[in-house]
Amino acid sequence: MSLDPPLRACWMKQGEQKGIPATKPGTKQKFHIFGGYDWETDEVTWTMTETKNSETFIIFLEELLLRRYPDRPVILVMDNASYHKSAAVLAFLSLFEHRVRVLWLPPYCSHLNSIERYWRHLKDIVAANRLAESLEVLRSLTEKTLVRQNQPHSEYRFHLSKNF
């Protein structure tokens, strides 16, 4: 997530133009979220970090595989990000090969991963068309929205259609 808001279509009165504030050039501030979407429950497991690399991705995998689903089979749907396929990550995943199956998406097909639809939903609620006061405010609002996703009756809950 970045302080620069994602832009979405919106309504304006005829003859008026909506202005979207932005950060000053060269002041890019952001944080990253690793996440997993549980197809059965619509719950999200996540970790927030300052950087995206193999080390921080392994921290997310520890949260997912050791704390959230310590004794259940897990299917990971992953794209071709370099940190997904690093030697360190593949070595970590090999420790769980008895209960983890990795499905690798073809290059440039992230739309096939359900977490991408959730990220759009999250950004629509938290950041679309508005500038947060600070990175800390954006991070706090993002975390509150992630927590609400895992509350069964939350008005902010994202449900992925399971009808075929």
User: Residue 122 has what pLDDT?
Assistant: 93
Separation CA 52–CA 100 (nearest Å): 22
Encode 104-141: b = buried (16+ Cβ within 10 Å), e = exposed. Answer: ebeeeebeebebbebbebbbebbbbeeebeeeeebbee
Structural domains in the chain, CATH included, are: 32-149 (3.30.420.10)
Separation CA 100–CA 117 (nearest Å): 23
DSSP calls for 73-142: -EEEEE---GGGSSHHHHHHHHTTTTTEEEEEPPTT-GGGSHHHHHHHHHHHHHTTT---S-HHHHHHHH
User: Residue 93 has what pLDDT?
Assistant: 98
pLDDT tens, the chain, 164 aa long: 666 666 666 666 788 776 666 666 666 788 999 999 998 999 999 999 999 999 999 999 999 999 999 999 999 999 989 999 999 999 999 999 999 999 999 988 888 888 999 999 999 898 877 777 888 989 999 999 999 999 999 988 988 877 66
User: Residue 59 has what pLDDT?
Assistant: 98
DSSP-derived pairing of the beta strands 74-78 and 44-49: unpaired
